[in-house]
Structure 1
Amino acid sequence: MAITPVKDMVMAAKAAITSLSTEQAAAEVAAGRAVFVDIRDVRELERDGRLPGAIHAPRGMLEFWVDPASPYHKEALATDKRLVLVCAGAWRSALATKTLQDMGMDNVAEMEGGFSAWKAEGRPVD
């Protein structure tokens, strides 16, 4: 049985979502129009650091945390601001952004290059 390669899934997701450059994402957050949502695993946060002020919503819980009907709902994610999803390299964030769009959210985007690009550009890390 053949499966769809994850790279193909990521490329399809990226064709259907909004991707912001690190500069665009930082500007939206600084202007108060967006919040960063870091979907990396807690071990990645501990090892590599995190974006200052980012909400941590692990990828495995994201859909449950954004759904107001879920017993796991997190109020921090119930906002009119744009949620800018961030992972290590913008693959998980692309798939997660597409999933949230499929759930009916229109205030969601991903950050191109992910945390790796952010850090490589010398941007602040906690």
Structure 2
Amino acid sequence: MSATRDAAADRHLREAEDRPLGIDELLERVRADYQRIGAREAYDAARAGEALLVDIRYAALRERDGLIPGALVVERNELEWRLDPRGSHRLPEATGHDLRIVVVCDEGYASSLAAASLHRLGLHRATDLVGGFQAWRAAGLPVTP
């Protein structure tokens, strides 16, 4: 009886893994794989040289809202190319797989997916900013026009 239940549970898990995910479920799953970071913690880590802030917002949002001083601006469609330490198009800041990267988008959604993608490249310390740039600004942290 137990073996039958185990086989049924295994089949159910395989079917669940094969079905398409909605975006909310996908976000929940990728966020479960790492510890997200708040605005103040990100600010302190960047100031201490312990983290690289990477702003993936598109140009119109950066122009409208400003920039985080010291953050590296990398368009989302170039992120993996620029931060892969073994990549031929990497930026000088992409120094190794142990680099702590904090991805920043506008509100903290696209950055979660981007951080998950960086994890797949072996950047195991990649994370994202809860609430994104809007949370950074709401916390009163520095922003330049």
TM-score (ref. length: structure 1): 0.89
Paired residues in the alignment total 125
Compared CA separation, residues 71 and 12, structure 1 to 2 (3 A)? same
Q: 2:53 aligned with 1:36, yes or no?
A: yes
- The one-letter code matched in structure 1 to 2:68 is L
How far is 1:3 from its partner?
Answer: 4.8
- Structure 1 partner of 2:104: 86
- Listed as ranges, the gaps of 5+ residues in structure 1 are none
How far is 1:55 from its partner?
Answer: 0.1
Contact 1:17 1:94 in 2 (8 A): no
Higher strand share: 1
Aligned CA-pair RMSD: 1.7
Contact 2:105 2:111 in 1 (8 A): yes
State the secondary structure of the residue aligned to 1:20.
Answer: coil
- Cα distance between partner residues in 2 of 1:3 and 1:53: 38
- Structure 1 partner of 2:5: none
Higher helix share: 2
Q: 2:64 aligned with 1:47, yes or no?
A: yes
Report % sequence identity: 32
Contact 1:34 1:84 in 2 (8 A): yes
Equivalent position to 1:102, from 120, 138, 142: 120
Equivalent position to 1:73, from 71, 82, 90: 90
- The one-letter code matched in structure 2 to 1:59 is R
- Listed as ranges, the gaps of 5+ residues in structure 2 are 1-18
Contact 1:90 1:114 in 2 (8 A): yes
- The one-letter code matched in structure 2 to 1:11 is E
Equivalent position to 2:81, from 59, 64, 70: 64
- Cα distance between partner residues in 2 of 1:111 and 1:25: 7
Which one has a bigger Cα radius of gyration?
Answer: 2
